[in-house]
């Protein structure tokens, strides 16, 4: 097992006495040997099993020779586009190019191509026709079957086909990558690797789906790619089936047909890791930082967020419609032991630049420290309902005691001043903790001045589409939060994450949110426009106008100008947004919110209501109206004037 960085050059290989690598791992990120980076975990897991792995980071995709840096691998090339989908990494939802890339040395943008997994796969095929190519990481995982691609506004084929790869290892991949390695090492052809959970392969012969669990009669045939291209509603149907087959205990094999008699076949997901297995993965000898060759460029910015943070869990039973975690990590929460996390915490505390603050202890959702209910580890997650949506399941285990004890132990580590939680608290699940002890200690010890939570919206119509709890649940949480701050003598703020233009949202719901913010006296500094990323329920709604869960039609805001109006309404106090807000209120027939009254969002334009006299009317506590009552209002104002 390597105890330093893995080889990144022939010189490194020579110094390590390596003549030939088993795997060459091509990655779209800088090489950072930290367990928050997928390439670090997969490469360390393979080396722990005795395989020799080298890293080619951000090769020049315009030069096929850049892929030959470490020579021909004995078993396979591995590819990961990076910790983010390369298109999300490159572009804002508006389509504008992002100015920096936190996963590249010096934050320089442009060191990886668009659709990195596809480009790297084809780059390899130019130089190595017969070497197995295995793709993985979040980009491949979420594009493993036909998917809507926002940036090209088209339904794309499985990334397996476009990248010319042999296999996809989807999800987190520790189990499947070891099975793949062992099979290849034993001499099995990559074309015969049709049996490994957590993988996707292509075939022209479905008779290869063998065994009682994968007999052809038990494989679910999805609508064909041709059908989905011609009828978008077929894509909604397909995704609905996929959504019900993400659990390793209950999922069935899925097959998707392409022209030419090609089938892309998805095996059920790999089983969740046990706590001991999670401990083993996170206990591997990571260097916990970026490769030293990046130092002259100022290092890799992304390390700052994770260097003093601890991953305590993976998986999420929250089920938000706009999130792809169900597809990537699954609904069953997997956790590390206290001993494993504390050992890492003690290691962090000894770092020379540690200032006493652990920045985060969590995962996709910080306060998920065990499966939603006892039966999940034996029978899997329910097909026919979510754990928290629309209301928490009666069988849910809301006990936060394990997380509470873990945080107490971390606070007691010598040299630790504060332990913060930044990876997100699921507030509706927090309210299921009957003791209330965790909520109290969260407020008392684990907030750095402000707590960020994600209600996303306050319209129950939109929250239903989002898979989020109703407004009253958030308001209950807010009330309790402020009450605890008062009791503890704290002055800590609550910062809500809000999203505009989510499928289902019209100007009516956007105005409803603006009025709610008016009552709070709060204007968010940041607002996230809905971003249709691959393989989420919300993205399917955006593309098809159909909710895959119930087949009902959904209004979709696609017009850039209307999207701008919805976003501006959330930040209606910003003078730069005045014209957009004014236009939105007029268009929605809500001129009652234009005026001088405290209930109004913006003031009228000069001359809208008869000049100065309109202010006298507003002072009486009534909001000025225009539209069908405009003439009457102006006439009344003039009567008063006379």
Label residue 208 by pLDDT band (50, 70, 90).
low
Alpha-carbon distance of 354 to 40, in angstroms, equals 22
The answer, yes or no, to whether residue 479 has pLDDT greater than 60, is: yes
pLDDT score recorded for residue 8: 98
pLDDT score recorded for residue 384: 82
> 355, 364, 302, 295: which is closest to 331 by C-alpha?
364
Instruction: Give me the count of residues in the chain.
Output: 642
The share of the chain scoring above pLDDT 70, in percent, equals: 93
The answer, yes or no, to whether residue 627 has pLDDT greater than 80, is: no
Report the chain's mean pLDDT, rounded to a whole number.
92
> 83, 76, 70: which is closest to 30 by C-alpha?
83
The tens digit of pLDDT for each residue in 482-516 reads 999 999 999 999 999 999 999 999 999 999 999 99
The share of the chain scoring above pLDDT 90, in percent, equals: 86
The answer, yes or no, to whether residue 635 has pLDDT greater than 70, is: no
pLDDT score recorded for residue 634: 35
Q: Is cis: bond before 75, omega within 30 of 0? A: no
The tens digit of pLDDT for each residue in 290-332 reads 999 999 999 999 999 999 999 999 999 998 999 998 889 999 9
The tens digit of pLDDT for each residue in 364-402 reads 999 999 999 989 988 899 988 899 999 999 999 999 999
The answer, yes or no, to whether residue 213 has pLDDT greater than 50, is: no
For the chain, residues classed under CATH 3.30.750.200 are 449-588
Are the beta carbons of 451 and 494 closer than 8 angstroms?
A: yes
Range with the poorest average pLDDT among 73-82, 113-122, 271-280, 613-622: 613-622
CATH superfamily for domain 10-201: Response regulator (3.40.50.2300)
pLDDT score recorded for residue 218: 64
> 137, 144, 142: which is closest to 158 by C-alpha?
144
Are the beta carbons of 147 and 155 closer than 8 angstroms?
A: yes
Rg (CA), the chain: 27
The answer, yes or no, to whether residue 252 has pLDDT greater than 50, is: yes
For the chain, residues classed under CATH 3.40.50.2300 are 10-201
pLDDT score recorded for residue 621: 42
The answer, yes or no, to whether residue 337 has pLDDT greater than 60, is: yes
What is the CATH number that goes with domain 449-588?
A: 3.30.750.200
Give the number of C-alpha atoms closer than 13 A to the C-alpha of residue 161, restricted to the C-beta side. 19
3-state secondary structure 29-54: CCCEECCCCHHHHHHHHHHHCCCCEE
Three-state SS for 621? coil
The answer, yes or no, to whether residue 623 has pLDDT greater than 50, is: no
What are the DSSP E strand ranges found in 352-412?
357-358, 360-362
CB atoms within 10 A of CB 578: 16
What does 58-127 look like in DSSP terms, one character per residue? S--TT-GGGGGTT---SSEEEEE--SS-HHHHHB-TTSPBPS--TTSGGG-S-SS-TTHHHHHHHHHHHH
């Amino acid at each position: 097992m390597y105890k330093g960085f893995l080889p990144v050059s022939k010189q490194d290989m020579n110094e390590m006495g390596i003549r030939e690598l088993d795997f060459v791992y091509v990655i779209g990120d800088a090489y950072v040997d930290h367990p928050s980076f997928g390439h670090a975990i997969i490469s360390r897991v393979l080396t722990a099993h005795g395989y020799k792995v080298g890293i080619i980071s951000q090769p020049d995709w315009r030069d096929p020779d850049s892929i030959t840096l470490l020579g021909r691998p004995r078993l396979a090339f591995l590819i990961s586009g990076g910790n983010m989908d390369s298109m999300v990494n490159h572009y804002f939802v508006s389509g504008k190019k992002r100015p920096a890339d936190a996963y590249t040395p010096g934050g320089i943008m442009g060191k990886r191509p668009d659709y990195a997994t596809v480009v790297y796969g084809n780059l390899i095929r130019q130089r190595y026709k017969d070497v197995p190519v295995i793709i993985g990481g979040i980009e491949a995982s979420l594009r493993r079957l036909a998917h809507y691609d926002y940036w090209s506004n088209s339904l794309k084929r499985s990334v397996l086909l476009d990248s010319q790869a042999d296999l996809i290892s989807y999800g987190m991949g520790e189990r499947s990558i070891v099975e793949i390695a062992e099979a290849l090492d034993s001499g099995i052809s990559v074309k015969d690797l049709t049996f490994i959970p957590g993988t996707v392969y292509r075939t022209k012969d479905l008779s290869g789906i063998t065994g009682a669990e994968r007999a052809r009669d038990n494989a679910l045939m999805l609508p064909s790619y041709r059908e989905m291209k011609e009828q978008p509603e077929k894509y909604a149907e397909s995704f609905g089936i996929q959504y019900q087959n993400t659990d390793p205990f209950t999922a069935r094999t899925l097959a998707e047909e392409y022209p030419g008699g090609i089938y892309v076949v998805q095996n059920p997901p790999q089983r969740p890791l046990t706590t001991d297995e999670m401990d083993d993965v996170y206990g591997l000898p990571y260097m916990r930082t970026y490769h030293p060759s990046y130092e002259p460029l100022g290092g890799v910015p992304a390390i700052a967020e994770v260097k003093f943070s601890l991953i305590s869990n993976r998986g999420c039973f929250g089920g938000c419609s706009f999130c792809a975690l169900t597809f990537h990590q699954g609904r069953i929460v997997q956790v590390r032991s206290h001993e494993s996390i504390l050992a890492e915490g003690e290691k962090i505390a000894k770092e020379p630049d540690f200032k006493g603050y652990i920045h985060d202890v969590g995962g996709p959702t910080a306060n998920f420290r065990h499966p939603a209910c006892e039966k999940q580890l034996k029978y899997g997650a329910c097909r026919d309902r979510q754990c928290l949506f629309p209301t928490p399941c009666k069988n849910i285990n809301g006990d936060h005691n394990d997380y509470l004890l873990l945080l107490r132990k971390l606070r007691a580590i010598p040299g630790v001043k504060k332990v913060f939680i930044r990876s997100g608290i699921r507030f509706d699940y927090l309210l299921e903790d009957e003791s209330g002890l965790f909520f109290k200690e969260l407020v008392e010890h684990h907030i750095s001045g402000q707590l960020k939570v994600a209600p996303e919206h306050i319209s129950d119509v939109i929250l239903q589409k989002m898979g989020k709890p109703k407004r009253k649940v958030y308001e209950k949480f807010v009330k309790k939060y402020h009450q605890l701050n008062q009791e503890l003598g704290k002055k800590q703020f609550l910062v809500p994450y809000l999203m505009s233009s989510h499928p289902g949202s019209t100007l009516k719901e956007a105005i409803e949110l603006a009025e709610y913010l008016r009552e709070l006296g709060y204007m968010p500094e940041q607002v996230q426009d809905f971003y249709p990323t691959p393989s989420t329920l919300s993205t399917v709604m955006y593309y098809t106008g159909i909710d895959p869960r119930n087949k009902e039609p959904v209004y979709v805001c696609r017009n850039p100008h209307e999207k701008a109006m919805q976003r501006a309404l959330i930040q209606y106090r910003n003078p730069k947004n005045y014209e957009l807000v004014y236009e939105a209120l007029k268009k929605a027939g809500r001129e009652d919110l234009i005026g001088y009254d405290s209930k109004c969002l913006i003031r009228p334009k000069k001359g809208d209501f008869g000049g100065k006299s309109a202010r006298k009317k507003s002072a009486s506590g009534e909001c000025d109206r225009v539209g069908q009552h405009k003439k009457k209002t102006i006439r009344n104002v003039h009567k008063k004037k006379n």
